[in-house]
Structure 1
Amino acid sequence: MGLLDPSQKEVLRFAVNCRILTLVLQVLTRFLGSSTPVMYWFPAHLLQEQEPLLRCVDAGPRKAPEQKSPPGQKAPRNCLMKLLYNWKSCSPVTRCILVYFLTYWLLGLILHCNFLPWT
């Protein structure tokens, strides 16, 4: 087996660098995502400040929703589902936050199941 010619050396160097970069990015995003709650506090703060649908939540004990829902459909208890059901009435900030987190979740699901690098 002889020495690698220059083109094979470049390909090998590129493959090793890509693998190292991928591992570093995965580790960094896992550390930042799991140990830094600020990444989640800021969107939550924006949602509480910008979204009128979330301002009406009572601080007291939860009561059954008084609003009428379409026939055959229950009123959502989950705040996320409430925002998704009322997509058209959400503010642009809320829409951007929802699109970001749902896209991140969906891409992670698809890429991880196909054994592609995703954190």
Structure 2
Amino acid sequence: MGLLDPSQKEVLKFAVSCRILTLVLQVLTRLLGSSTPITYWFPAYLLQDREPLLRCVDTAPQKLLENSPPGQKAPRNCVMKLLYNWKTCSPVTKCILVYFLTYWLLGLIMHCNFLPWT
């Protein structure tokens, strides 16, 4: 086989560099995302601190029953409670919910289509 000309060597070097960079970034973000709880603690802190619906769950469960869809019990899952009461949620809660639900949905769609998602 013949040798690569200089332009093909540059393209090959660029392609290998991009692949290595992509792998390093994917591994780092997965490692940091799964081993660093601060990324989950901070939104949880904000939700507990600024969301009145989560503070009053134990003291006033009847309030949640009023806002739930007809014919349904009050959900046990805190995320579902917040989604059922979307209109009464604070703006901080809405931003956190939109971020995590969008991240989850995009990850699901991209992973099922064999696209890189970290």
TM-score of the superposition, structure 1-length normalised? 0.83
Q: Taking structure 1 as reference, are residues 118 and 70 closer, same or farther at Cα in structure 2, changes over 3 Å only?
A: closer
In 1, the alpha carbon distance for the partners of 2:17 and 2:82 equals 42
Gaps of 5+ in 1: none
In 2, the alpha carbon distance for the partners of 1:86 and 1:12 equals 54
CA contact (8 A) 1:22 1:117 kept: no
- Give the fraction of aligned pairs with identical amino acids, expressed as a percent: 85
In 2, the alpha carbon distance for the partners of 1:71 and 1:98 equals 23
Q: Which has the higher contact order (CA 8 A, sep 6+)?
A: 1
Gaps of 5+ in 2: none
CA contact (8 A) 2:69 2:84 kept: no
In 2, the alpha carbon distance for the partners of 1:97 and 1:8 equals 47
CA offset at residue 53 of structure 1? 0.9
Q: What is the RMSD computed on CA atoms of the aligned residues?
A: 2.0
Which protein has the bigger helix share? Answer: 2
**Matched AA of 1:105:** W
CA offset at residue 75 of structure 1? 2.0
CA offset at residue 72 of structure 1? 2.7
Q: Taking structure 1 as reference, are residues 70 and 115 closer, same or farther at Cα in structure 2, changes over 3 Å only?
A: closer
Q: Taking structure 1 as reference, are residues 77 and 9 closer, same or farther at Cα in structure 2, changes over 3 Å only?
A: same
Post-superposition CA distance 1:34-93 (Å, at most 9, x none): 11111111010011111111111338xxx9x42334433332221100111111221111
In 2, the alpha carbon distance for the partners of 1:110 and 1:70 equals 28
Map of 1:52-71 to 2, 5 A cutoff? 52-58=52-58, 65-66=61-62, 67-68=65-66, 69-71=68-70
Map of 1:97-116 to 2, 5 A cutoff? 97-116=96-115
